Amino acid sequence: MLQRVLGHEWRALGSDATTWVVIAIFAVAIAYGTWNGSRWVRFQQGALAAAHAEEQERYDRLASQIAEVSAGAAVSPFADPRSPANVGGRLGPRYAALPPAPLAALAIGQSDLLPYYFKVTTDARENIVSATEIENPQRLLVGRFDLAFVLIYLYPLLILAVTYNMISAEKEQGTLALVLAQPVSLATIVLGKVMVRAGLLVGVVVVCAVGALLLTGTSLAAPGAAARLVLWGAAVAAYGTFWFSLAVWMSSLGRTSAATATLLASAWLVLVVLLPSLFNLVVTVAYPVPSRVEMVQATRVASDEANAAGSQLLAAYYEDHPELATGGAEQAMTDFNVIRVAVNDEVEKRVRPVIDRYDGQIRRQQEAIDRLRYISPAVLMQDALNDVAGTGVPRHQRFMAQVSAYHAAWRAYFTPLIFNKTRITDVRATPQFRFEDETAGTVVRRVTVALAGLAVPAVALVWLGLGRLRRYPVAG
């Protein structure tokens, strides 16, 4: 009997021209969102390729200059390519970059807000990470239209539009009693209606998104791409299941089509729009983040004060690092490059409390959102999509931790050379940054938690809905 219900529902949907018009518009939105995400990924890849090419060209030029100076060519001390202070500072900095994940086009996420490359020098860390790419603030405020937006906001609306009257319309037309006079239960009828609609919508999402990815040049054969695509499909199915389950439960209440549509629209507004905004307001008030202007100002003041007390700082630095006081500490006290090392170290120490307070509040906000997100399926879906695409906060935090470690390694490499006034002969021996991405298991665990947060309420809603369907008023 279920097979007959499925066939009847498919013919009924297929004969309705409105269904196909809406599906076509939805498919265009999916394709455009995917294309827009791919365009942003190409922009990032282009920026990183340009940075890499600039670094290669600069290092080739440095190698040539070192050879010329070593052969006797005259050069200013401030432009000497053999000076470790010059190479580690302004002549030879290297880029630390976060490359886009294989399926980054599926969700722009936080990647347009968070910096994805830095030019690492011997300068204080805060001066490096605060020098980010300039972006249009209005665009950052509004955000970019991508596939994640289509799935989180438009996908549930389409589900609710095709399910709000799947029982009430039959009842209002007087055909429900005739249908139930056959050897079929109301639960079987609802199951058939939901299966046809779910298969159609999920199929449209998957086919259109995968097709758009292939057309825009995304390689699904890249390492990890297949696994991420499976996780993405699971997220689409889980999110859709929640909204279908909600529609089943709402339909089981026995309200009119207009009343059911109003209730479902209100649920969408609360769960997708209001709750995420409320979460943001709550965590902002509970854990206010210090002004970034305050952090920049603290860095500037610390730098000015440290520069003014350079000699005293260098003396204290020698006390902390006696192994560097070789070749006459008194003579080194007048060396600009040596003093600069101590100044940068002092700037980091003075700014560290402000940075720690800033990072601590951001961490507390994220922890609060992690606890509250189970109330809103939209937040869970956004987190799952960002994790699959590699554009979420956890992957960026991993990148920032590696940038900090690389900066420390960079300074550890150049500091002894500066203090010993060693000449650099092989500029390519300087440390290089290699981003170590998350393991597939880490991503799977995070996405699975989000999917479970969607599945549990979906099962509960279906169970409640099926229970009410046994008492559904067929007439009246």
Both structure tokens of 87: 């190479």
Any domain includes 135: yes
Any domain includes 337: no
| Sequence-ordered list of residues with C-beta below 8 angstroms from that of 30, at least 6 positions apart, any chain | 147, 150, 204, 205, 208, 209, 212
Asked if residue 232 lies in contact with residue 104, where contact means CB atoms within 8 angstroms, the answer is no
Any domain includes 322: no
Any domain includes 455: yes
Domain that holds residue 199: 1-263+395-476
Any domain includes 338: no
Any domain includes 412: yes
- Please list the pLDDT of the chain residue by residue as tens digits (476 residues): 677 777 777 887 777 788 888 889 999 999 999 999 999 999 999 999 999 999 999 999 999 998 888 888 887 776 788 888 888 888 899 999 999 999 999 999 888 888 899 999 888 777 676 655 555 444 444 567 899 999 999 999 999 998 988 888 888 887 877 777 777 888 888 888 899 999 999 999 999 999 999 888 888 888 888 899 999 999 999 999 999 999 999 998 888 889 999 999 999 999 999 999 999 888 888 888 766 666 667 666 666 666 555 555 555 555 455 555 555 544 444 466 667 777 777 777 777 777 778 778 888 888 888 899 999 999 999 999 999 999 999 999 999 999 999 999 998 898 888 878 788 888 888 999 999 999 889 999 999 999 999 999 999 999 999 888 888 877 65
Domains of the chain: total = 1
Measured CA to CA, the distance from residue 188 to residue 5 in angstroms comes to 8
Any domain includes 449: yes
Any domain includes 256: yes
Instruction: Please state the three-class secondary structure of the chain as a single string.
Output: CHHHHHHHHHHHHHCCHHHHHHHHHHHHHHHHHHHHHHHHHHHHHHHHHHHHHHHHHHHHHHHHHHHHHHCCCCCCHHHCCCCHHHHHHHHCCEEEECCCCCCHHHCCCCCCCCCCEEEECCCCHHHHHCCCCCCCHHHHHHCCCCHHHHHHHHHHHHHHHHHCCCCHHHHHHCCHHHHHCCCCCHHHHHHHHHHHHHHHHHHHHHHHHHHHHHHCCCCCCCCCHHHHHHHHHHHHHHHHHHHHHHHHHHHCCCCCHHHHHHHHHHHHHHHHHHHHHHHHHHHHHHCCCCCHHHHHHHHHHHHHHHHHCHHHHHHHHHHHCHHHCCCCHHHHCCCHHHHHHHHHHHHHHHHHHHHHHHHHHHHHHHHHHHHHHHHCHHHHHHHHHHHHHCCCHHHHHHHHHHHHHHHHHHHHHHHHHHHCCCCCCCHHHCCCCCCCCCCHHHHHHHHHHHHHHHHHHHHHHHHHHHHHHCCCCCCC
